[in-house]
Structure 1
Amino acid sequence: MVTDRTAPSPVRGRAARPAAAPVLLVVAGAGCLSGSALFVKLAEVGSGTAAFLRCAIALVALVPLAVREHRGHGPLEPALRRWAVASGVLLGLDYVLWTQSILDVGAGIATVLNNVQVLAFPLLALVFGGTPMGRRFLFACPVMLAGIALTSGLFTSGAQAAHQGRGVLLGVASGVAYAGYLHLNRLSGHRSPRHVVAPVCLATAAAAVVTGGVGAVATGITADLPAMSWLWLVLLALVGQVAAWLLLAAGGRGLAPGTSASLLLLQPVLAVGLGVLVLRESPTAVQLAGCATVVAAVWFANRPSTSDI
């Protein structure tokens, strides 16, 4: 793993106040990601097909943008291209592992396990980049994860896990792979701030290869779909892949890893809201309490302060 040599050094005794623009970009990215589950439900396609096509269709939009960026800012460094491909492999693994985790232990538990990224992402930055984790963030982490557990419906589902042990391991692995993608993408942004699209484009291409290969073997991939399914998959690709990762790439480079990781926990909260507005779903009181808990914990972890308590 590479070292973050370009990240600014924290001021001792003071918690850095995140700038408003990067925070808004990451929150917007989380909002785009929150629509992914909705689009997959409406598309009514298999998990392998959805995972592969969200990446493949996204390349139709990303490649022209990457070419334009190349002409304006020059090529991406060879090392950064390798980082981007590696991050895309991790992203593809995240999609594959999380999908299987859902099948093994259910969507609620899988959602909680995938969000171990809230600890794994800052930990990777600490181990490989020397970026410290604030005590306020560490105090808030258990509360954030508890809120995610409530929001996911973990404590209201009566379904029994088919493969408990395997599902837990795959869910945690998906969260670590997710964190690895975020870490490498953040390092690329620090190393070459002018390149936003190229790393995302290369990562998406690598993720398409991974999800396509695994999907073809494990679940099968089909292009023989109704027109409405294609419409929802195009929206999945443009909103949940292109817009989401470009916003996160642009905003995440300006924030501490713990800040980005905690803001991304708003994704399942926003997904609940979309389910209510679009699918007329009715979240339970426990889920609503979980949403409030996540929002409060994220605010606590990132609120302006003169000292890192």
Structure 2
Amino acid sequence: MLIAVAGALIISTSAPLVRLSGVSPATSAFFRCLYAVPPLLAMAIAERRRHGPLPARPRNLAWVAGVLFALDLLFWHHAISYVGAGLATVLGNLQVFLVAFGAWLVFKERPTRNLMIATPVVFCGVVLISGLFDSAAYGANPLLGVVFGLATSIAYAAYLLLVKGGSGGPGRTGGLLAHSTAVAALVIAVLSPFSGGADFVPTWPAHGWLLLLALGPQVLGWTLITYTLPRQPAALISLLLLVQPMTTMTISAIILSERPSALQLAGCAVIVLGVLYGSRSGGGGRARGTRAEDLDRVGDLGKAVL
């Protein structure tokens, strides 16, 4: 649990570091992956020596996850530029609902009653953040920021499911992240012309922030999260969803002087309380299977995505 919370706290610095770099969304997304590949590759080589080559199934799932992670980063970094680091991080953490309803669609597992009740409440919070009814809304384009934030949640939910399903057994964290991060960097470079363009020439101090982003949240933070994903219960996932956005909101307010409007802050509170309520166990859901059964189902979802 401490490892998982530490990973979430480290990842919560991602959006502020993106803002501090001052580069375009495609540039920050590309270099946070590129700079992370060498240390992740070193981890993967060490794991290969201890455990042998990464099996084909988790490797293939990691490649698909890399494509989804690239989309997640591109969408999210655009959301940061439109609605700010704090609000974009809150919006990017709606995947608990998307995962639940995706499982309903793919596995015929009905969401809990609490989750069904919380869903419309949470999306009322999303509307408040969008600034539709708020002339004082923070952000260059809050409505567009919400659109990119929702797209982020979709890609992020699919990514987490694939990483969880493609764990490949103990001691495979570095290999999975190395594969998915390298693929993400390649996909971002290919999609760069369609997402505002990336500047591939490093400049200072922007790339100092991007290097810190890569080594901190991308390598250390995601290594801790990926290590805990196959091991943690659903309650801990919900806890992580609350730790990351609230920490990012605090950091953004202190370092970046971001000041969301009263209605936007109310929207954040609605989302956090909705996620907390919706993630509680309640009636209406099917009994949880064993860990092996859960991973098999997630692997089946990965095949469906592929």
Q: TM class, shorter-chain normalised?
A: 0.7 to 0.9
Give distance in 2, aligned partners of 1:301 and 1:77: 36
Match of 1:82 among 49, 60, 67: 60
1:41 matched to 2:14? The reply is: no
1:107 matched to 2:83? The reply is: yes
Matched residue SS, 1:221:
coil
Matched residue SS, 1:62:
helix
Contact 1:112 1:145 in 2 (8 A): no
Q: Which letter maps to 2:241? A: L
Show the counterpart of 1:157. Answer: 137
Match of 1:138 among 116, 133, 136: 116
* CA deviation after TM superposition for structure 1 residue 171, in Å: 5.0
Show the counterpart of 1:187. Answer: 165
Q: Which letter maps to 1:300? A: Y
Give distance in 1, aligned partners of 2:214 and 2:161: 22
Give distance in 1, aligned partners of 2:269 and 2:93: 17
Give distance in 2, aligned partners of 1:88 and 1:255: 22
Select between 119-128 and 167-176 the one with higher mean Cα deviation. Answer: 167-176
1:31 matched to 2:18? The reply is: no
TM-score (norm 1): 0.74
Give distance in 2, aligned partners of 1:175 and 1:77: 28
Identity of aligned residues (%): 35
Q: Which letter maps to 2:197? A: T
* CA deviation after TM superposition for structure 1 residue 231, in Å: 1.7
1:97 matched to 2:75? The reply is: yes
Change over 3 Å in CA distance of 1:224–1:57 after alignment to 2: closer
Task: Give the unaligned 5+ runs of structure 1.
Answer: 1-20
Change over 3 Å in CA distance of 1:84–1:131 after alignment to 2: farther
Give distance in 1, aligned partners of 2:80 and 2:176: 28
Give distance in 2, aligned partners of 1:83 and 1:266: 27
Give distance in 2, aligned partners of 1:140 and 1:50: 34
Number of aligned residue pairs: 279
Contact 1:196 1:249 in 2 (8 A): yes
Q: Deviations over 1:276-303 (max 9, x none)?
A: 2323444544444444444444443445
Contact 1:87 1:185 in 2 (8 A): yes
Matched residue SS, 2:12:
helix
Give distance in 2, aligned partners of 1:73 and 1:48: 35
Give distance in 1, aligned partners of 2:3 and 2:273: 19
Contact 2:57 2:166 in 1 (8 A): no
Matched residue SS, 1:194:
coil
* CA deviation after TM superposition for structure 1 residue 39, in Å: 0.7
Change over 3 Å in CA distance of 1:162–1:25 after alignment to 2: closer
Show the counterpart of 2:208. Answer: 231
Give distance in 2, aligned partners of 1:38 and 1:152: 20
Show the counterpart of 2:288. Answer: none
Contact 2:130 2:142 in 1 (8 A): no
Give distance in 2, aligned partners of 1:181 and 1:204: 12
Contact 1:122 1:261 in 2 (8 A): no
Q: CA RMSD in A?
A: 3.5
Note the 1:189-228 alignment, pairs <5 A: 189=167, 191-215=168-192, 218-226=196-204, 228=205
TM-score (norm 2): 0.75
